[in-house]
Amino acid sequence: MDLGLTDRAYIVTGASSGLGRATAEQLLAEGARLLVCSRDVTHLEELAAMADPGSIMVLPGDLADPELPERLVAAAMARFGRLDGALISVGGPPAGTSDEITDEQWRAAFETVFLGPVRLARAVSDAASVEGCSIAFVLSTSVRSPIPGLATSNGLRPGLAMLAKTMADEGGPRAIRVNALLPGRIDTERVRHLDELGGDPEAARRDAEAAIPLRRYGRPDEFGRVATFVLSPAGSYITGTVIPVDGGVTRSL
């Protein structure tokens, strides 16, 4: 299937590793042009070194910075002359229960996990090409069901998912599509870190896999392919949706 991504331009945040990196690699393989962003410039440059120089631009930054979204959009427009959407992925907030997370941690997580993505989605929507654009938020299965020990994710991700639906309603008349992706246990550095918190990562992984119908963790590229399709013109009638990529672990509709 031709996804129609040749020469289209996207911003990908969190692109240095994990799900953002996997999606960036898939988009590049399909012919898209990317502005990639994260706080880790070294890994961004490694990604850029593997791609056609004309197809990728690196701009490091932190989504907690309120000025970053406008810089990203301006740089993408200057480099590519158009902007067709964004994958908005940020690192997970600190683990902890609701009585362990401090007010300062809540404020910091809100800036990075919630408000930063909102600012970028707004900036991308404002700069969308005449053909519209596609925005995908990378969230978590905590949107549907709380994850023990991840109070900040449980508190912030559902609100962002509902905002994605609101933005889809508002942007639809201008052909702006907005969706949310809910990764489950994907084998990333973040998930491996969470498995290590209890002191026995192998046991934690076995227990988690036993609760997944496919009985395994997902691969980052499996998530990246779904995200790439949703962002692409091939997914042109998908908007306002919340899509689990979790091996079936989410039991709710």
Which tens digit of pLDDT belongs to each residue from 122-149?
999 999 876 789 999 999 999 999 999 9
Residue showing tokens 């609760």: 211
Residue whose token pair is 């890994």? 43
pLDDT at 118 over 80: yes
Tokens of 250: 């989410």
Contact status, residue 144 vs residue 186, Cβ threshold 8 Å = no
| pLDDT value of position 128 | 86
Mean pLDDT of 95-102: 93
Q: Tokens at residue 183, please?
A: 């990764």
Are the beta carbons of 201 and 234 closer than 8 angstroms?
no
Do 49 and 25 contact (CB within 8 A), yes or no? no
Distance CA 201, CA 234 (A): 39
- What value does the mean pLDDT take over residues 79-102? 93
Please state the rounded mean pLDDT for residues 87-100: 90
Chain segment 169-224, per-residue pLDDT in tens: 999 999 999 999 999 999 999 999 989 988 999 999 999 999 999 999 999 999 99
pLDDT for 93 equals 84
Domain 9-244 sits in CATH at 3.40.50.720
Q: Which amino acid is at 213?
A: P
Domain ranges of the chain: 9-244
CA 134 to chain centre: 13
Nearest to 142 by CA among 178, 114, 118, 121: 114
Cβ burial, residue 68 (10 Å; 0-12/13-18/19+): buried
R_g (Cα) of the chain, nearest Å:
17
Determine the 3-state secondary structure of 148 from DSSP.
Answer: coil
State pTM to two decimals: 0.95
Res. 110 pLDDT band, cuts 50 70 90 = very high
Q: Are 17 and 43 in contact (CB under 8 A)?
A: yes
| 90 and 117 Cβ atoms separated by less than 8 Å | yes
SS3 142: helix
> Rounded distance, CA 107 to CA 21, Å?
26
Of the chain, the percentage scoring pLDDT greater than 90 comes to 92
Q: How high is the pLDDT of residue 132?
A: 87
Eight-state DSSP code of residue 104? H
Which DSSP letter does residue 193 get?
H
pLDDT recorded at residue 94: 84
Residue 178: strand, helix, or coil: strand
